[in-house]
């Protein structure tokens, strides 16, 4: 058992123990009021799901490290589906993703304030004098949907590759990339605006923290987002396609990356990071938490999620990630075409695919993706959320 993985899980458990110590004394006032009850109940349910996830992760680590006999909670749940059975981990991942989407939708409907009614300097939830706008919440919904589709892709890609070969694996990747076609329908908040201009410290703030430190943390978050997008999404998806087609010739049953212990740690910390930053800002505004403590908690969560991501990077195609990053700089907002070209680069380096596949992806799929994105971009701009 890797000590690094054990450290990651221990940090995650400590973080949730701290969250409970902060939330428990104020739970009735946070989750019971009638105003915004839908979002409050969704938040309570999502927090419970995250706690179930960390309990399951601790059980798995104990089992692997110390030979504990107790079965992890998610292994006790399974759903029959024809001749097969859907594992408890798959059900949990799907429920966690749907819960995250529901949490975001209810936040926008119950508490979302349009940007025009606020005087925020930029987007972001690390400043104690800023308020998250409805546009930021709706944009966040897009990435929640993207997480759900990637989770489904990671589970079905090995199965589809085993039954339908390279064509099936590419089709599953197309489904995982499809949400990017509708990106223009969601608001865009330039994250770089949070750190390019140093704000004056507001006279009304009670939790005085150096603006320089907050800007640095925003820069780190921006770097994490770029890494997530190009390495842990595009690069990982391309790497899974190549690995799944290579393993499809094996007589053994296909295995899913999502069932590995290190991915369970990564997935839990990723979903935690997606919601806790906003929740912590809410506690700061309600004077249940100081901004200084909130920033420390954010740093801890960023460190823990980075540790977990270190295990997943090995499964990503770094060539595809580099291709994706370069294309994003040269021609941004062309994600479907970028994924097709990134997969072509990964296939070229892998060397096990027939050469015709590279030409097909570059000359056939990429132009089709570009044309589709042009149409969906125009549609999204007319029907933005």
* Distance (Å) of CA 5 to CA 20, 72, 281, 322, 328: 23, 17, 29, 26, 32
Residue 188, SS3 per DSSP:
coil
Q: Is the pLDDT of residue 380 over 70?
A: yes
Model confidence band, residue 203 (pLDDT cutoffs 50, 70, 90)? very low
Domain assignment present for residue 234? The answer is yes
Q: Whole-model pTM?
A: 0.89
Report, as an integer, the average pLDDT of 111-139: 74
**Helix or strand (DSSP H, E) at 87:** strand 84-87
Residue 100, SS3 per DSSP:
helix
Domain assignment present for residue 257? The answer is yes
Residue 280 burial class via C-beta count within 10 angstroms: exposed 0-12, middle 13-18, buried 19 and up? buried
Domain assignment present for residue 31? The answer is yes
Full residue range of the structural domain in which residue 44 is found: 3-195+211-316
- Convert the pLDDT of each residue in 88-117 to its tens digit: 888 999 999 999 999 999 999 988 777 666
Domain total for the chain? Answer: 1
Q: How far is Cα 120 from Cα 284, in angstroms, rounded to an integer? A: 17
Helices 318-330 and 335-350 pack at an angle, to 10 degrees, of 150
Q: Is the pLDDT of residue 82 over 70?
A: no
CB count, 10 Å around CB of 25?
11
Average pLDDT of the chain to the nearest whole number: 86
Copy the structure tokens of residue 357. 């596949």
Q: How far is Cα 7 from Cα 215, in angstroms, rounded to an integer? A: 28
Domain assignment present for residue 369? The answer is no
Domain assignment present for residue 366? The answer is no
Report, as an integer, the average pLDDT of 8-35: 91
Domain assignment present for residue 216? The answer is yes
Domain assignment present for residue 36? The answer is yes
Domain assignment present for residue 228? The answer is yes
DSSP 323-375: HHHHHHHHS-S-HHHHHHHHHHHHHHHH--S-HHHHHIIIIIIHHHHHHHHHH
Q: Is the pLDDT of residue 196 over 80?
A: no
- Convert the pLDDT of each residue in 280-336 to its tens digit: 888 888 888 888 898 888 889 888 988 888 889 999 999 999 999 999 999 888 999
């Amino acid at each position: 058992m890797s000590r690094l993985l054990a450290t990651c899980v221990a940090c995650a458990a400590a973080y949730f123990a701290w969250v409970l110590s902060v939330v428990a004394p104020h739970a009735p006032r946070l989750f019971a009021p009638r105003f915004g009850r839908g979002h409050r109940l969704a938040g309570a349910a999502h927090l419970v799901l995250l706690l179930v996830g960390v309990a399951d992760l601790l059980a798995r680590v104990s089992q692997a490290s110390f030979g504990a006999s107790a079965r992890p909670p998610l292994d006790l749940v399974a759903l029959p589906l024809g001749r097969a059975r859907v594992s408890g981990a798959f059900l949990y991942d799907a429920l966690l993703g749907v819960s995250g989407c529901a949490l975001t939708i209810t936040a926008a409907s119950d508490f979302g304030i349009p940007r025009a009614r606020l005087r925020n300097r930029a987007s972001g939830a690390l400043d104690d004098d800023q308020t998250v706008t409805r546009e930021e919440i709706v944009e966040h919904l897009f990435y929640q949907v993207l997480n759900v589709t990637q989770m489904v892709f990671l589970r079905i890609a090995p199965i589809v590759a085993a039954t339908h070969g390279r064509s099936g694996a590419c089709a599953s990747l197309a489904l995982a990339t499809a949400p990017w076609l509708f990106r223009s329908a969601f608001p865009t908040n330039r994250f770089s605006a949070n750190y390019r201009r140093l704000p004056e410290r507001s006279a009304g703030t009670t939790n005085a923290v150096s603006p320089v430190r907050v800007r640095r943390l925003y820069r780190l978050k921006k770097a994490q987002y770029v890494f997530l997008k190009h390495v842990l999404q595009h690069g990982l998806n391309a790497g899974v396609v190549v690995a799944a087609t290579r393993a499809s010739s094996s007589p053994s049953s296909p295995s899913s990356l999502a069932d590995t212990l290190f991915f369970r740690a990564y997935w839990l910390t990723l979903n935690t990071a997606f919601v806790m930053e906003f929740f912590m800002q809410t506690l700061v505004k309600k004077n249940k938490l100081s901004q200084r403590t909130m920033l420390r908690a954010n740093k801890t969560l960023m460190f823990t999620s980075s540790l977990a991501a270190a295990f997943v990077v090995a499964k990503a195609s770094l060539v595809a990630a580099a291709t994706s990053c370069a294309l994003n700089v040269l021609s941004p907002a062309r994600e479907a075409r970028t994924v097709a070209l990134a997969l072509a680069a990964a296939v070229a380096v892998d060397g096990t695919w027939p050469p015709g596949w590279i030409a097909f992806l570059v000359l056939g799929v990429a132009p089709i993706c570009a044309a589709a994105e042009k149409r969906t971009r125009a549609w999204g701009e007319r029907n933005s959320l």
